[in-house]
Amino acid sequence: MVKAIVEIDERANRVLNIIKAKHGLKDKSQAINLMARQFEECLLEPELRPEFVESLKASQSEKTVKVSAFAERYSK
């Protein structure tokens, strides 16, 4: 675990206190960790969902089409 001393403004402090109270967390460190996880889920690349993985596996077994001249076939 990493320890850090951070400076936050009053608004950020209020937001952390609200998150802490809403989720029944012990301290602001837990609130920051929760915010980081939520940020990761929303903005960073999410993990592949099981239903998507299954659809990929199903598409692997589908018949493929051989294309020798891609540009000729798909350009207009």
pLDDT tens digits along 8-63 = 999 999 999 999 999 999 999 999 999 998 887 777 665 677 777 888 888 888 88
pLDDT tens digits along 65-75 = 888 888 888 88
Q: E strands along 1-76, which residues?
A: none
31: exposed, middle or buried (C-beta count within 10 Å: 0-12, 13-18, 19+)? buried
Neighbours of 6 (CB within 10 A): 7
Q: Quick check: pTM over 0.75?
A: no
Q: Residue ranges per domain, the chain?
A: 10-74
- CA 56 and chain centroid, separation: 20
What local confidence, expressed as pLDDT, does residue 45 receive? 65
CB 11 within 8 A of CB 19: no
What local confidence, expressed as pLDDT, does residue 47 receive? 66
